[in-house]
Amino acid sequence: MSMERIVIAACAATGSVIALATVGPNRAPFDYATASIEEKQKYLERKAKNFSRGYNLTKGGSSDISDTYVDAERDLVSITVQMKGANNGYIPASELEKARSLILKTACSLTERDMLTETNFKMRIRFFKPGGASLMTVEADGETCAPYLA
């Protein structure tokens, strides 16, 4: 399993989170900045559910989402991805950095600009090796996305 497949799956899934949770048929964009905590929680839960759905459709059997955590009070969606297979035990640091950058760029470009610039929203995607050790973490928020929003 190459890092390229991980990137493709994560980018496709990230896109599905944003696209499916933001606007539906005959529905105006969600105003996250002015929503109540309960409305934010439901909205972020949809984002997490859509991420899981999109990821499961694109991952190619190389990984599973092992945990999803949503906390509207902290404006956080956290997804944990467990890699599978012996070939995913070692990935060179240079490939990880390329993958992290591409996943971050995709997440930033697909997340609503207002959500990133006017709120404290953060999407965290943590990847773990087959043995359980940390592989990488990607965090998309206003600060990490600033270079992609110019």
d(CA 32, CA 40): 6
In this prediction, residue 20 carries a pLDDT of 42
Which CATH number fits the domain 3-149, given the four candidates 3.30.300.250, 3.60.15.10, 3.20.20.140, 3.40.50.720?
Answer: 3.30.300.250
Tally DSSP H helices, then E strands, for the chain. Answer: 5, 4
Q: What is the pLDDT of residues 34-86, one digit of tens each?
A: 999 999 999 999 878 877 777 766 666 678 888 899 999 999 999 898 888 76
Q: What is the pLDDT of residues 87-142, one digit of tens each?
A: 766 778 888 888 889 888 888 887 778 888 888 999 999 989 888 899 899 999 99
Residue 136's Cβ-count burial label (10 Å; 0-12, 13-18, 19+) is: buried
Torsional class of 26: left (φ above 0), alpha (ψ -120 to 50), beta (otherwise) = left
In this prediction, residue 26 carries a pLDDT of 52
Q: What is the pTM of this model?
A: 0.77
Give residues with Cβ within 8 angstroms of 7, minimum separation 6: 98, 99, 102, 103
